[in-house]
């Protein structure tokens, strides 16, 4: 038996990990029932909202502050996890097995059931120590973040139920780090997924027709891949940059054609693009449309995603929540790096609503295994994260 086997917080965490809230077609009922049990144990009120569908619950556990009229703080996490390939795991992905080193193996161990339970563990300790907080805290558990959050946080932030929470600041997920440095995220790139629907002259495969879909596809591919190469070189040549500071371009889908000897009238190519926070969205779109015109037109752009430019979270004296957060991490003597998040989280919807948000997952000296096989977190890393939140939560909430 490992040294952590009987730790109550570890037991609660592993219980949550064993709920297979995995895509596709998640039934969130077990998560909701589990969180109701946690709220009852903490003697805190809980509400369940359904901003989109009856199958997409948003769970909110509330700790009312001494000055509830002040803007509140949300501690957000998502209940869903990405699919697994069980044959690639050395431990069943929803068993929450713990080895002698204290490594807890489960899908969601890093992304991000750890954070959702660390919030509650920190609050349990703060309440037990009779700590009083100025502002109200809402601990939120949302669905479907892993598939874009469109029926989760995106609709929730626009709802009257969210507006009644009077949110002034949000904490959400970050990433693990392999070294001693904790990563803190104040912004995210904008996700654009563009489907180029390319039309051209069709005919027999033995001819050299002009204005074919193949020629147009080659032109667009060259332009997009040149941009990709430029950004790749910029990242490689400047050690101060991280992946979140550049625009990424990746070809993700090509389809079309009917037969090997027929030049088709239509081909489609999809690119996943993450626009750096320095990019002017209108200029970028105009450039792409100009490329389409240069090769003869007949190219329709269909946006699967086209996220707007959202406000960055200020990390200076103008943001009192940041001042509180920074004081806590300084008091803890944490080694930190403040970055742009490379992917997309629910924080983008919160920031779009004009609410500052910080992404932070207290997992350092940990291999980054989000969405990977054998995802794990060490028990001592998990427990250390609780201690960190015990300092951060009061500092932010009393800002």
Task: Kindly list the distances between the CA atom of residue 104 and the CA atoms of 83, 92, 99, 142, 190, in Å, as whole numbers in the listed order.
Answer: 18, 11, 7, 23, 33
Q: What is the mean pLDDT of residues 376-395?
A: 98
CA 62 to chain centre: 23
pLDDT at 3: 82
Whether the Cβ atoms of residue 123 and residue 139 lie closer than 8 Å to each other = yes
Could you tell me what percentage of the chain is helix, strand and coil, using 3-state DSSP and rounding each to the nearest 5?
35, 25, 40
CATH T-level assignment (fold) for domain 8-173+361-397: Aminopeptidase (3.40.630)
Q: What is the mean pLDDT of residues 352-376?
A: 97
Could you identify the residue written with the tokens 């039309």?
199
Judged by DSSP in three states, 235 sits in: helix
* β 248-256/266-275 pair status: antiparallel
Q: Locate 17 and state its tokens.
A: 């990990």
Instruction: Please report which confidence band the pLDDT of residue 2 belongs to, taking 50, 70 and 90 as the band edges.
Output: confident
Instruction: Please report which confidence band the pLDDT of residue 1 belongs to, taking 50, 70 and 90 as the band edges.
Output: low
Q: Locate 377 and state its tokens.
A: 């977190």
* Spatial CA neighbour of 384 closest among 174, 186, 100, 182: 182
- Mark whether 145 is an active-site residue: yes
Residue extent(s) of CATH 3.30.70.360 domains in the chain: 190-306
**% of the chain surpassing 90 pLDDT:** 99
Give tens-digit pLDDT for 11-62: 999 999 999 999 999 999 999 999 999 999 999 999 999 999 999 999 999 9
Q: What is the mean pLDDT of residues 171-182?
A: 97
- Mark whether 80 is an active-site residue: yes
Give tens-digit pLDDT for 310-332: 999 999 999 999 999 999 999 99
Instruction: Please report which confidence band the pLDDT of residue 279 belongs to, taking 50, 70 and 90 as the band edges.
Output: very high
Pick the CATH number of 190-306 from 3.30.70.360, 3.40.50.1580, 3.30.110.60, 3.40.50.2000: 3.30.70.360
- Residue partners of 349: CB distance under 8 A and separation at least 6: 149, 153, 154, 157
Q: How far apart are CA 374 and CA 267, in angstroms?
A: 38
Question: If you average pLDDT over every residue of the chain, what do you get?
Answer: 97
Residue extent(s) of CATH 3.40.630.10 domains in the chain: 8-173+361-397
**% of the chain surpassing 70 pLDDT:** 100
What angle do the packed helices 8-17 and 113-128 form, to 10 degrees?
Answer: 150
Q: Please, which residues bridge with residue 211 across strands?
A: none
Give tens-digit pLDDT for 99-147: 999 999 999 999 999 999 999 999 999 999 999 999 999 999 999 999 9
Give the CA radius of gyration of the chain: 24
* β 299-306/58-63 pair status: unpaired
Select which of 9, 80, 231, 245 is catalytic: 80
Select which of 9, 111, 144, 145 is catalytic: 145
Instruction: Please report which confidence band the pLDDT of residue 90 belongs to, taking 50, 70 and 90 as the band edges.
Output: very high
């Amino acid at each position: 038996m490992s040294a952590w086997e009987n730790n109550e917080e570890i037991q609660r965490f592993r219980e949550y990990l064993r709920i297979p809230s995995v895509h596709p077609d998640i039934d969130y009922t077990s998560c909701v029932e589990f969180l109701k049990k946690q709220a009852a144990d903490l003697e805190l009120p809980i509400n369940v909202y359904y901003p989109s569908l009856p199958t997409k619950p948003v769970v909110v556990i509330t700790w009312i502050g001494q000055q509830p009229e002040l803007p509140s703080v949300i501690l957000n996490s998502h209940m869903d996890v990405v699919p697994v390939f069980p044959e690639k795991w050395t431990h069943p992905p929803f068993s929450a097995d713990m080895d002698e080193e204290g490594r807890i193996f489960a899908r969601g161990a890093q992304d991000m059931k750890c954070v959702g339970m660390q919030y509650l563990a920190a609050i349990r300790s703060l309440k037990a120590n009779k700590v009083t907080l100025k502002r109200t805290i809402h601990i939120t558990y949302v669905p479907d973040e892993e598939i874009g959050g469109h029926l989760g946080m995106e609709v929730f932030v626009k709802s009257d139920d969210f507006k009644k929470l009077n949110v002034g600041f949000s904490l959400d997920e970050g990433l693990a780090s392999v070294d001693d440095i904790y990563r803190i995220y104040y912004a995210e790139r904008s996700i654009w997924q563009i489907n180029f629907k390319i039309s051209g002259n069709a005919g027999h495969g033995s001819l050299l027709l002009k204005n074919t879909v193949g020629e147009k596809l080659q032109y667009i591919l060259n332009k997009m891949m040149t941009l990709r190469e430029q950004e790749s070189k910029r990242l490689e040549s400047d050690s101060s940059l991280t992946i979140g500071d550049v625009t990424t371009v990746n070809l993700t889908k090509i389809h079309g054609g009917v037969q090997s000897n027929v030049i088709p009238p239509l081909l489609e190519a999809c690119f996943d693009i993450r626009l750096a926070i320095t990019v002017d969205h209108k200029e970028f779109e105009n450039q792409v449309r100009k490329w389409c015109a240069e090769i003869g037109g007949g190219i329709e752009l269909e946006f699967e995603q086209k996220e707007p430019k959202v406000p960055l979270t200020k990390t200076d004296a103008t943001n009192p929540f940041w001042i509180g957060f920074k004081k806590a991490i300084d008091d803890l003597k944490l080694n930190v790096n403040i970055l742009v998040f490379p992917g997309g989280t629910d924080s983008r919807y919160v920031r779009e609503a004009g609410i500052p948000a910080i992404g932070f997952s207290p997992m350092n000296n940990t291999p980054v295994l989000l969405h990977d096989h054998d995802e794990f977190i060490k028990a001592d890393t998990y427990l250390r994260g609780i201690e960190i939140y015990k300092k951060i939560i009061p500092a932010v909430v009393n800002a």
